Amino acid sequence: MKPYAFGVDMGGTTIKLGFFRKDGALIEKWEIPTRTENHGANLLTDIALAVLSKLAEKGIKTSDVEGIGMGVPGAVYNDGFVKPCANLNQWGGFDVATELSTLCKMPVKVVNDADAAALGEMKFGGGRGHKNVVFVTLGTGVGGGIIVDGKLVTGVHGAGGEIGHMKVKSGEVSMCGCGKKGCLEQYASATGIVRNTKLYLEQSGIESTLRQFDTLTCKNIFDCAKEGDIVAVNQVDEMTHMLGKALSNISCVVDPEVFVIGGGVSRAGDIIIENVKKYFLLYAFPATEDVDITLAKLGNDAGIYGCFTVVSD
């Protein structure tokens, strides 16, 4: 492998970039704005400029760079073709890897952003030391990445690991962003737990400290649950119930060594892990019960580490 590589994690607000040595040491990380106007027409030129400017600043030639690993918030085919990404104003629908490679004059590999984070956590974070890992990211939505024997499971349509759209509840009347009903994302995401808690407060007369917040957040709910608020405890229990059930279903299919829970919601910490373990064991097929469930360790850097892994392995 050549001495250097880049990891690029595209988000809806910012693009995170990491410049790495071949041993995985992070030399520098920085961010640039995600310019989604005109369907993201400037995104690849912005990334190319950021990468090439960094090399010029360091006095390093493109021939010394193994390549650029890039994570995008959408489905990716194995040939680098990216489907239009809703969070990037429908940017995509073309061979992203080839176009960025042409701009930067170096190899480019593109993966789904949750898959990239899964690789990062497997190699450098909460899944380190394991080759069979399921990464779950709990944020505005619910994403995931599945790794079996050290390799990503992406599926024929690039949708492998979209665990947020696993159906976990019948009778749901509200619609998920995907157009279906009863998805895990409707209960285990930050958006979902806030929505469900507001609905519960509207429909019940139970006293709760949650009623004091003008703008209720996911953090409010977990903080109040830790203080013993009955409504908050109930809602966290419901959220972790759905997540534990979903992980038990996943374990029947891929039988991982570890589930790694990341994303902004995971900052609530042990209250999530303890409750999810309880419900996982309630539903799990006995042969799959011996699995670790742990918190992610890389935070917002998981994506750039995983993107580096894509071009370094």
pLDDT at 18 (0 to 100): 98
Q: Is residue 9 within 8 Å of 262, Cβ to Cβ?
A: no
Domain identity same for 112 and 132: no
Region 298-302 average pLDDT = 93
Domain identity same for 99 and 171: no
Q: How many CA atoms lie within 13 A of 83 on its CB side?
A: 12
Domain identity same for 114 and 243: no
Identify which of 138, 164, 65 has the alpha carbon closest to the alpha carbon of residue 106. 65
309 vs 123: CA distance, rounded Å: 8
Domain identity same for 93 and 156: no
Residue 73: pLDDT over 90? no
If you ran DSSP here, which 8-state letter would residue 306 be given? H
44 vs 54: CA distance, rounded Å: 15
Summarised one tens digit per residue, pLDDT across range 88-128 is 888 999 999 999 999 999 999 999 998 999 999 999 999 99
Domain identity same for 291 and 146: yes
Neighbour count for residue 213 (Cβ, 10 Å): 11
Summarised one tens digit per residue, pLDDT across range 39-67 is 999 999 999 999 999 999 999 999 999 99
Q: What 3 state SS string does 154-198 have?
A: CCCCCCCCCHHHCECCCCCCCCCCCCCCCECHHHHCHHHHHHHHH
Residue keyed to tokens 């064991």: 281
Domain identity same for 204 and 284: yes
Report which residue type is found at 177. G
Indicate the number of domains in the chain. Answer: 2
Residue keyed to tokens 């399921």: 134
Residue 83: pLDDT over 90? no
Region 164-187 average pLDDT = 93
Domain identity same for 211 and 280: yes
pLDDT at 155 (0 to 100): 86
211 vs 206: CA distance, rounded Å: 10
Helix axes 270-283, 218-226, angle to 10 degrees: 80
Summarised one tens digit per residue, pLDDT across range 193-231 is 999 999 999 999 899 999 999 999 999 999 999 999 999
pLDDT at 277 (0 to 100): 98
DSSP SS3 for 297 = coil
Domain identity same for 115 and 152: no
Domain identity same for 164 and 266: yes
Domain identity same for 97 and 236: no
CATH code at position 289: 3.30.420.40
Residue 86: pLDDT over 80? no
Identify which of 71, 163, 53 has the alpha carbon closest to the alpha carbon of residue 108. 71
Domain identity same for 133 and 110: no
Domain identity same for 82 and 136: no
pLDDT at 177 (0 to 100): 83
Summarised one tens digit per residue, pLDDT across range 12-30 is 889 999 999 999 999 999 9
Percentage of the chain modeled with pLDDT above 90: 85
Q: Predicted confidence band at 80 (pLDDT cuts at 50, 70, 90)? A: confident
pTM equals 0.89
pLDDT at 26 (0 to 100): 97
Residues 6+ apart with CB under 8 A from 41: none
Residue keyed to tokens 């009863």: 182
Which residue range(s) make up the domain with 231?
128-296
Residue keyed to tokens 């990503």: 152
Percentage of the chain modeled with pLDDT above 70: 100
Report which residue type is found at 233. V
Helix and strand element counts for the chain (H, E): 10, 12
